[in-house]
Structure 1
Amino acid sequence: MYEVERVFNDDNLDLARSVLNQLATPVAVFAWAADEPEPLRFLAGNRGFSELFSRQEPEIDRAISRLSEGMARVIRGMGPDDDTVHTVVVPDETGTGHLRIMLQFAGCAPDHPARVIAEFQRLSDHENDTQNLRSRVRQLQDLADNSTALMYVKNPAGQYTIVNHYFARQFGRTPEEILGKTDHDLFDTTSADVYQENDRRVLESERAEEVEEPFSQIGGLTDPDEDRRWLSIKFPLLDDSGVPYALGAISTDITARKRAESAARQAMHEAERANQSKSLFLSRMSHELRTPLNAVLGFAELLRDPDADLEHQESVHHILEAGRHLLTLVNDVLDISWIESGAPGIEPELVPASVPIHQALEIVRPLAKQHGIEIASDLHGAVGVDIRVDPHRLRQVFFNVLGNAIKFNRPSGAIHVGTKIQGSALRYLVTDTGNGIGPEEIGRLFSPFERLSNADGIEGSGLGLALSRGLIDEMGGRLGVLHTAPGEGTTFYIDIPIAEAGGEAGLLSAVELPDPASAEVLVEATVVQIEDTVVNQLLLQRVLGRMGVGRLRSASSGAEGIALVRSLLPDVVLLDLNLKDISGVEVLAQLQRDEALSDIPVVILSADATPARISELQSRGAFAYLTKPFDPGTLQAILVSAVQVRS
């Protein structure tokens, strides 16, 4: 050793190699500089060292690079004055075996870094197997100890034989305090019974299971947080003959997940209750607001008299205009609320794309004519195209957009309506020649109750476009402004997805209801109305009287109405839903259960205009559903159709 130290301190490498080659075992000398990024630098080795690695000396640096980290770790624990031999076992460069390396400082001269002598020995196959087994065990232990889940093994008697560090830290114990104990030694009886039963089932079935288990504290104390839970994966460990010799398990704390699930369920229930309350409120408000409006508009219509003086006619006209405006406002407010509650009542069906816009145009043309507005349309782009929409709701959107184009147009202005294919959608375009909208106001255009600066003196609530956008969104389309500028008018677009080919489009006429051949069939008809509001009974009597209905009988309660229908066997029943004794829904059900009465058409005449209620009654077999305030012409068409079906 002295000769090796002396020659290396003198930097005589040839002499050093000569000395090293006299040694029978593989030996190498390294320079050690602890402050360097790579502190271990190879200097020289003997023939045995070169033969060990099957390398020439210039290639030795690369050959031992994989050994350096393990060697350096041991050397850092030594000192230059330490003459003790330290041993480290590391994988060799091939990764198939192990080398035992004995390391010793050889001292150093004042002007030279420390020298380290390393003697190498390849382990035998048996030693390699042992070392490999130790490495695998160490790797598995490191894996388990760095896990953030409980990992443990129990023998068939239920005693813990292996626990990871997380297990011990979780319960504030050392592994030694846990090993050899059973669940009943550690935890409260209730929890231990659950753990033991799950273990028994897994060992007997010899199949892995995933189970939720209660959280418990070591020491038999019940955890104060009763919501805490473990999700445990338990599996049998089988010997070579397939017999379970132990149970392994991994347990994860799922308390946060369970609390999140519970909070989500609670939030969902709260949302459902809120929606139910809102739906009930909307239904009630619809009934309470429309019922008096029905009487106001109905009797105002009856007061129309072309032979009356001009003042009388103007008064009736103002009543009707104000009433209709109020009805529109009620409708829009209820629809906005309905959309916001998540239940817009959209009932899509396949329809020809040109029909809803054509129907809307036919209805608004008289209004445009009154304002001196000319409407031009080109619907060729919609010919042969089908869309899946709620036709009633889409017409409502067209009414709003066309109505705005009329109200905000200039005197003697014009409106152009067109259609064209836009990708996978059909685009409806409505262009007016009005004053346009400033860029600073575009953002408020679709906000509820917002009135723009150019709306002064123009009747409206500011709800129409907000409602229209909500309805179009629900039908999978888009509504927006394509172009507008002060003095240049405005172009709105409505994009509706084109339906896939192969469907059967509904055949819509200009009017949704069948056009009666003649109202003369009503002269011989018998009609029973079930209505508990006296003023509405009186209104209906006068309206039907003008239609020429031959026989009308009224009932103020559900029970009285059912008895009246049984005795008269009428052609049509007009049924209100909100009755004093039983609901109109139950009246409809009783009439349908009676074979003698089940084929009598029942027309619902109600102030409840919520889409859910309309859909419900139609699905229950109502012949038609007409909301109050009703249009006398529509009611007449329904009655004629019902009588024709009955006859």
Structure 2
Amino acid sequence: MSPDEALRLLKQSAFDSAPLATAIFRKESPKGLVFLGGNSKLDALLHGSTEPAVDPHEAPTPALIKLVATSLSEPADDQTMTVHLGDQLAAFRPQVKTFNIPGDPAEYLVVQLAALAEPDSIEHDLHSTIRQLKDLLDNSAALMYVKDLDGRYLIANHYYARRLGITAESIIGLTDYDLFPKAVADNYSNNDDMVIRTASSIEVEELLATDRDQSELDEDSRWLSIKFPLLDDAGKPYALGAISTDITDRKRAERAAREAMHDAERANRSKSEFLSRMSHELRTPLNAILGSAQLLQDLPLSPRAAESTSHILDAGKHLLALVNDVLDITWIEAGAPGIASAPVPAIDSIHQALKLVRPLAAAQDIEIASDLHGALHRYVLADTQRLRQVFINLLSNAVKFNNPQGAVRVWCEVVDGALRFLVMDTGPGMSEDDVERLFKPFVRLDQSASIEGSGLGLALSRRLVEEMGGSLGIEHTAPGEGSTFYVDMPLAPAPEEDLDTSAPEKDAVDTSDAAHATILQIEDTYANIRLVENIISGMGGLNLISATSGESGVALAQDNAPQLILLDVNLSDMSGVEVVKLLQQDQRTKDIPVIILSADATPARIAELRSMKILDYLTKPFDIEHFARTVRQALALA
């Protein structure tokens, strides 16, 4: 049987009964295909297409031959053939099988075209897609629109029309200058030009207006617009599309938040200024009172005068403690600027506090027992000075509110990732009602009525500990059973470099070259000027000159080149910060060491001055012996 006869028989039998459009090809070379014939379904498909009629012995359409050749060279599931059937478009995927005829060396192909979708289905899907897109546009809560390159609207959704109070159809063909005030239209047009010029998308805030005659624009009324180019096959913009969302409410909320933040900042600045001023106004007279009383103690006094001097000192110290507590409470409520927690040796603060409180305990016949092994070689996140202040308060209370010949026990242990410091006393203990009132400012319990205090210590201590990330409370108390307070501080890893930053031994400073040195004092309060003059004169061999304003002080420093400057922060004509800057900018005075003597004890001011590389900062009222020692050390280093 010849190949032609075999093909004829094949076509007469199973070929015509195949459910799919089927064609037979003979493969004469890797790329050469010869069309031999097709079944009636293929004939119907080709006659219904817009392709021209072809010879039966040639490929019925270039698209078909190309599709088969591509399927053979690059097998893939997504090879498709698209055919125009009248006004409709149909897509097919080839299914290719090979076979051989006995006695014929050629390879034959059977190709069946599986329709991806019926033409009616394609048309239905197209109409459905268009309807869905239209619904999406018209039901969106955002402006959606398309403009041509001249800025004329081609498409505008119903939301846009509702915002303008006109129909969507009436917007078509208009420009922004037909719809909005010129300032708004200019804003839109400039952004459109940027998109068209760069052929790239932008996201931009734009003015919001809904009326061409709108004369006043709310600065918070804004669209957030995403504008993008529509590109042709050459990659050039032929139109502009955009989606704009009303963000007016968000802009108003942002402005309200900014104003609230600015109000809070102004309030905090006012609080800080108040604290600074009150610290200065309260501590300045106390400096003169306590300083003069200390000088009096060094003079030969009658027993009555000595007793009066002692009373002045005790009352002054009590008043100073009260001032410190009140200012600290106010300072914490203002945001506690200045507390900087860092990894510090856990044992330092409690050890220093014990050292300071033991004399008080001994005077009242109270025994203090401590076991600090739990704090050895550990670090906590804290401010050493503030943590020491907390421990001094707890230990002082444990001594003051103890029974005669009582005891205080101090120890440390690790609890849930924190180091717990415990202070236990053998005092009268407290009821549950007392515990609830204990940490409220200015509240004093009935049992403390006869004991000196302000009722601020525990409230302040708790706030300080909380600002450092810890907690302070009562572990146990009951009437007749004493009380146990705890302080939990977060544990921290040891610093990478644990440097020894302890101060040099005071007796090791060589002051032999300090004699006959000149010291400049810049201070505007007469009582404090006289106090420093009396202290310096008692130190021997030193020359003190004084200025009562910042301007005159800087001039004296330039003319006399003193070895040391003692500077107050709050002067009548300028601040101490300004004086330091003037001194450091002048070659004649930039190397003169400066010690601040200030009644402003706010941490922010102290940190500000220390950052300017001053030598030291002494807070008024100061201890006379400490002041004298600091001056000698400064002159020895000058």
TM above 0.5, yes or no, is yes
Distance change >3 Å, CA 596–CA 156, structure 1 → 2:
closer
1:252 aligns with 2:245: yes
1:392 aligns with 2:385: yes
Distance change >3 Å, CA 305–CA 209, structure 1 → 2:
closer
For 1:223 and 1:607, the matched residues in 2 are separated by 54
Distance change >3 Å, CA 523–CA 164, structure 1 → 2:
same
For 1:497 and 1:123, the matched residues in 2 are separated by 69
The alignment partner of 1:248 has SS state of strand
For 1:224 and 1:193, the matched residues in 2 are separated by 14
> Partner residue of 2:565?
573
> Partner residue of 1:405?
398
Normalising by structure 2, we get a TM-score of: 0.77
Distance change >3 Å, CA 482–CA 503, structure 1 → 2:
farther
For 2:160 and 2:508, the matched residues in 1 are separated by 86
The alignment partner of 2:492 has SS state of coil
Cα offset, 1:222, TM superposition: 4.0
Distance change >3 Å, CA 599–CA 301, structure 1 → 2:
same
* Mapping of residues 158-197 of structure 1, within 5 Å: 158-197=151-190
Cα offset, 1:140, TM superposition: 1.7
Q: 1:604 aligns with which of 580, 592, 596?
A: 596
Residues 532 and 555 in structure 1, CA contact (< 8 A), matched pair in contact too: yes
Cα offset, 1:136, TM superposition: 1.1
Cα offset, 1:575, TM superposition: 1.7
The alignment partner of 2:134 has SS state of helix
For 2:545 and 2:191, the matched residues in 1 are separated by 73
> Partner residue of 1:367?
360
* Mapping of residues 112-127 of structure 1, within 5 Å: 125-127=118-120
Bigger shift: residues 519-528 or 449-458: 519-528
* Mapping of residues 383-532 of structure 1, within 5 Å: 383-505=376-498, 507=500, 514-517=505-508, 521=512, 524-532=516-524
Residues 535 and 628 in structure 2, CA contact (< 8 A), matched pair in contact too: no
For 2:615 and 2:196, the matched residues in 1 are separated by 66
> Partner residue of 1:268?
261
1:642 aligns with 2:634: yes
Cα offset, 1:518, TM superposition: 7.0
1:541 aligns with 2:533: yes
Cα offset, 1:130, TM superposition: 1.1
For 1:339 and 1:240, the matched residues in 2 are separated by 67
Residues 592 and 599 in structure 1, CA contact (< 8 A), matched pair in contact too: yes
Distance change >3 Å, CA 168–CA 401, structure 1 → 2:
same
> Partner residue of 1:205?
198
For 1:325 and 1:124, the matched residues in 2 are separated by 96
Residues 213 and 231 in structure 1, CA contact (< 8 A), matched pair in contact too: yes
> Partner residue of 1:150?
143
Query: What residue identity is the alignment partner of 2:279?
Result: S
Query: What residue identity is the alignment partner of 2:443?
Result: E
> Partner residue of 1:116?
none
Cα offset, 1:357, TM superposition: 1.1
The alignment partner of 1:303 has SS state of helix
For 2:247 and 2:201, the matched residues in 1 are separated by 19
Residues 202 and 235 in structure 1, CA contact (< 8 A), matched pair in contact too: yes
Residues 343 and 494 in structure 2, CA contact (< 8 A), matched pair in contact too: no
For 1:503 and 1:261, the matched residues in 2 are separated by 43
Measured on the aligned residues, the alpha-carbon RMSD in Å equals 2.7
For 1:437 and 1:574, the matched residues in 2 are separated by 49
> Partner residue of 1:304?
297
Q: 1:278 aligns with which of 266, 271, 287?
A: 271
* Mapping of residues 10-21 of structure 1, within 5 Å: none
Cα offset, 1:228, TM superposition: 1.2
For 1:336 and 1:603, the matched residues in 2 are separated by 27
Alpha-carbon displacement from aligned partner over 1:444-492 (angstroms, at most 9, x marks no partner): 3222222233321222122222222222222222222222222222222
Structure 2, gaps ≥5 residues long: 1-89, 92-114
> Partner residue of 2:285?
292
Cα offset, 1:561, TM superposition: 3.3
Distance change >3 Å, CA 431–CA 124, structure 1 → 2:
closer
Residues 418 and 490 in structure 2, CA contact (< 8 A), matched pair in contact too: yes
Alpha-carbon displacement from aligned partner over 1:533-558 (angstroms, at most 9, x marks no partner): 22112212222333445433333333
For 1:168 and 1:555, the matched residues in 2 are separated by 76
1:619 aligns with 2:625: no
Cα offset, 1:568, TM superposition: 4.7
Bigger shift: residues 497-506 or 146-155: 497-506
Distance change >3 Å, CA 513–CA 331, structure 1 → 2:
farther
**Percent of aligned positions with the same letter in both sequences?**
56
Alpha-carbon displacement from aligned partner over 1:592-619 (angstroms, at most 9, x marks no partner): 3444443332211111111121112212
Alpha-carbon displacement from aligned partner over 1:175-220 (angstroms, at most 9, x marks no partner): 2222332222222222122222222221222211111111112454
Distance change >3 Å, CA 210–CA 362, structure 1 → 2:
same
The alignment partner of 1:532 has SS state of coil
For 1:563 and 1:178, the matched residues in 2 are separated by 76
Residues 421 and 427 in structure 1, CA contact (< 8 A), matched pair in contact too: yes
Q: How many residues align?
A: 525
Query: What residue identity is the alignment partner of 1:529?
Result: Q
